[in-house]
Structure formats: structure tokens, C-alpha cells
């Protein structure tokens, strides 16, 4: 039996589910959880969605968004948890999940396989794409609401079908979702063109922090807590802003430093082509994909920045050496 069929049987045999995903959820985690909740409810199951942090505000129009509950401890009588987009249970930042058998559904290349069932497919563009196949294996009707959520998960995790995780299969699934009632224009308007004014003002401030190394191939932007206060933006307004430095022609890798406190920073990394920032993030105790990864670094800003920029520069030089290109 395939893992997809195993998970389908597991879900059909049980009744009460806790759905969760990573802290500081993004479009894939939010919309995939909502799609899964709607699917399980259609199957007559009882479902709770619990996340450590609230969804970014631009997802407020998603069907079933009110089902999301914010909390940091799992409690209640559940037959199982379903954990989406997490390479380990700690990424949820929800306590007490160890008490429930977990179904682990993820598309990160490195995953701790913490579940009783583990389905990890790094070739999938988004967990939303994986759920599409799971729903096929269940006696389910693909409603326009479920389709819209799965489409949103794929749209956001592929950067609107731009990132290298976009494959022919991604478009096939997206096409089926559109046939099932997902409306691309409406989703774009509801999700992409529904950001807060303060997010744009924060972007303006952030772009003012843009810096490059001497090769101009590494770029970074930096957020300190004051900028959030000054613009009125929330922590979860920052999703996607990391990508802006990559729009510059010579830039091959970029970093987004976010102050947690004076001694620790959350670092998001993005790259073009073969440069593997996921491997780099892992060396620092973080993780992610080849072209999109993250980590938390301890230390004051100048040290953290210098270390990460040096590693990014090394990454480019090592890759150029492998491909026999000059480094400057």
C-alpha cells in the first residue's frame, strides 16, 4: 500500500483530529490546514486547528479561516495529530504534541520522520499539492472552497509559479483545482492584493537597509523591532519581503535578518539556481529547501551578519569553483 493510501485509511479509521503546522505560518501552512480541516469535516470527522502564531493578515479572506485557533499547548481528546510542513515537532512551537500519534506530511528535503506515518515529498511544490493527491485517495468531493485553499497553498509556496519548485505537475494540479472552482483572479485579489498599508510602509523602510557585499552577489536587508513600531506592521506582515533583494540582476543569494532581541536574530535565506541555502541553514541548526531556508542565530547584529554573509559568499565561491567559473 502506498503511503498516501495508508494515510487515507488511517484518517478514515479515526474520528478526532488535531491539525497543526509550523510557528509563524505561511500561505502553504495556513491554506493547507484549512483545506485539510474542510476535507475531514466533509468525512464526518471532528477537527481542531491549533497554531502557535496567528496567520498573516492577508489570508483573512480564505474559506474557513475562522477555524484557526492560536495557542501553544495541545490539549483534549484527539485520536491523532496531523502535522503539516514541519521537519520536526519542535517547529510547531506547540507543546504536548508528543501525547498524540502524528501523521507527518511535509515537503522539506530533511525531515525527522517523527510520525507514526510519514509522508515526505521534497519534489512537491507545496504541502497543498500533496494534499490534492491525498484527497483523491479519499471518498471526498473537491468543493470550490477546498480547491481555493489548495490553490492558494501552491500559489504562495511557488512565489506565484516563479520558484524552481514549480514543475509541470504543479500546473496539472493547479489546473484541476481551477476546474474544481478555485478562481485564480479572485485568489490573487484576496491574498496578494489584500496586504496591510503598514506592510508596504515596512517594505519601504526595509529597502532602505539594503546592502551588498563587495562582489554584489550577496545582498541583505535588516529589520529591527523599532521599524515594526514605527510602521505599525506586525511580525507576520513580513512574509515574502525576503525575496526583494533577489530581484537585482547580479544578486545570487540574499538574507533577511530579523531582530528577535539584541542577542538573537531570525535569518531567512533565498537563492537563485543551484545555490543550496537549505544545506547552509541546516549547519546553523535551521533548515528549509535549496532556494528558501531559515535559521535562528545567537549574537549581536554585526557578528551575525558577518558570519552569514561570509557563509553566503563561500557558498557562491564553492559553487563557482565546482563549475569552473571565476569568482568575481
User: Which residues form the interface with ligand AMP (CB under 6 A)?
Assistant: 22, 26, 87, 242, 268, 286-289, 292-296
> In the beta sheet, which residues pair with residue 287?
294
Residue 170 interaction partner, one of Mn ion, ligand AMP, none, beta carbon < 5-8 Å per kind: none
Other Cβ atoms within 10 Å of 214 Cβ, number: 8
CB of 295 to ligand AMP, least distance (A): 5
Residue 203 interaction partner, one of ligand AMP, Mn ion, none, beta carbon < 5-8 Å per kind: none
CB of 281 to ligand AMP, least distance (A): 6
Residue 295 interaction partner, one of Mn ion, ligand AMP, none, beta carbon < 5-8 Å per kind: ligand AMP
Residue 28 interaction partner, one of ligand AMP, Mn ion, none, beta carbon < 5-8 Å per kind: Mn ion
CB of 328 to ligand AMP, least distance (A): 28
Contact 166, 157 (CB under 8 A): no
Residue 296 interaction partner, one of Mn ion, ligand AMP, none, beta carbon < 5-8 Å per kind: ligand AMP
Which CB sits closer to ligand AMP, 227 or 280? Answer: 280
Q: Distance between CA atoms of 69 and 65, rounded to whole angstroms? A: 9
Among 11, 22, 24, 28, binds Mn ion (CB under 5 A): 28
- 285: closest CA among 262, 307, 306? 307
Residue 157 interaction partner, one of ligand AMP, Mn ion, none, beta carbon < 5-8 Å per kind: Mn ion
Q: Distance between CA atoms of 140 and 35, rounded to whole angstroms? A: 12
Q: Distance between CA atoms of 134 and 136, rounded to whole angstroms? A: 5
CB of 107 to Mn ion, least distance (A): 6
CB of 75 to ligand AMP, least distance (A): 25
226 CB-near residues (< 8 Å, 6+ apart): none
Element (H, E) at 230: helix 225-231
**Residue list 41-100, contact with Mn ion (CB under 5 A):** 85
**What is the 8-class DSSP label of residue 139?**
S
Which CB sits closer to Mn ion, 85 or 259? Answer: 85
* Rg (alpha carbons) of the chain, rounded to whole number: 20
Residue 292 interaction partner, one of ligand AMP, Mn ion, none, beta carbon < 5-8 Å per kind: ligand AMP
| Measured CA distances, 310 to 6, 211, 314, 316 (Å) | 45, 14, 6, 10
State the cell numbers at 309: 554573509
Which CB sits closer to ligand AMP, 115 or 287? Answer: 287
- 166: closest CA among 124, 137, 198, 130? 124
Stretch that binds Mn ion, among 17-25, 119-127, 203-211, 304-312 (CB under 5 A): 119-127
Pairing verdict, β 287-288 and 211-212: unpaired
CB of 278 to Mn ion, least distance (A): 12
- 20: closest CA among 57, 1, 48, 56? 48
Which CB sits closer to ligand AMP, 142 or 292? Answer: 292
Q: Distance between CA atoms of 306 and 95, rounded to whole angstroms? A: 34
Which CB sits closer to ligand AMP, 62 or 292? Answer: 292
Among 129, 157, 239, 252, binds Mn ion (CB under 5 A): 157
State the cell numbers at 121: 515529498
- Report the interface residues with Mn ion, using CB under 5 A: 28, 85, 126, 157
Amino acid at each position: 500500500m502506498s503511503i498516501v493510501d495508508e494515510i487515507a485509511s488511517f484518517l478514515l479509521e479515526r474520528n478526532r483530529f488535531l491539525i497543526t503546522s509550523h510557528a509563524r505560518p505561511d500561505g502553504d501552512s495556513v491554506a493547507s490546514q484549512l483545506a485539510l480541516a474542510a476535507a475531514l469535516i466533509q468525512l464526518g470527522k471532528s477537527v481542531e486547528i491549533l497554531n502557535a502564531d496567528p496567520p498573516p493578515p492577508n489570508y483573512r479572506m480564505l474559506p474557513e479561516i475562522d477555524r484557526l485557533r492560536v495557542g501553544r499547548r495541545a490539549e483534549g481528546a484527539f485520536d491523532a495529530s496531523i502535522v503539516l510542513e514541519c521537519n520536526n515537532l519542535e517547529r510547531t512551537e506547540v507543546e504536548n504534541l508528543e501525547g498524540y500519534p502524528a501523521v507527518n506530511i511535509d515537503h522539506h528535503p530533511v525531515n525527522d520522520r517523527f510520525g507514526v506515518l510519514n509522508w515526505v515529498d521534497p519534489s512537491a511544490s507545496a504541502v497543498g499539492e500533496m494534499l490534492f493527491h491525498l484527497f483523491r485517495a479519499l471518498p471526498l468531493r473537491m468543493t470550490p472552497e477546498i480547491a481555493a485553499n489548495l490553490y492558494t497553498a501552491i500559489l504562495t509556496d511557488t512565489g506565484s509559479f516563479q520558484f524552481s519548485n514549480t514543475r509541470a505537475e504543479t500546473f496539472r494540479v493547479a489546473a484541476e483545482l481551477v476546474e474544481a472552482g478555485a478562481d485564480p483572479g479572485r485568489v490573487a485579489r484576496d491574498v496578494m492584493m489584500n496586504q496591510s498599508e503598514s506592510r508596504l510602509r515596512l517594505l519601504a523602510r526595509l529597502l532602505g537597509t539594503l546592502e551588498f557585499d563587495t562582489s554584489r552577489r550577496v545582498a541583505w536587508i535588516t529589520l529591527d523591532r523599532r521599524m515594526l513600531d514605527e510602521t505599525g506592521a506586525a511580525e507576520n506582515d513580513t512574509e515574502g519581503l525576503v525575496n526583494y533583494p533577489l530581484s537585482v540582476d547580479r544578486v545570487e543569494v540574499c538574507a533577511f535578518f530579523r531582530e528577535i532581541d539584541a542577542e538573537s536574530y531570525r535569518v531567512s535565506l533565498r537563492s537563485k539556481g543551484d545555490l543550496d541555502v537549505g544545506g547552509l541553514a541546516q549547519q546553523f541548526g535551521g533548515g528549509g529547501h535549496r532556494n528558501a531556508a531559515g535559521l535562528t542565530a545567537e549574537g549581536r547584529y554585526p557578528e551575525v551578519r558577518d558570519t552569514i554573509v561570509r557563509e553566503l559568499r563561500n557558498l557562491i565561491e564553492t559553487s563557482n569553483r565546482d563549475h569552473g567559473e571565476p569568482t568575481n
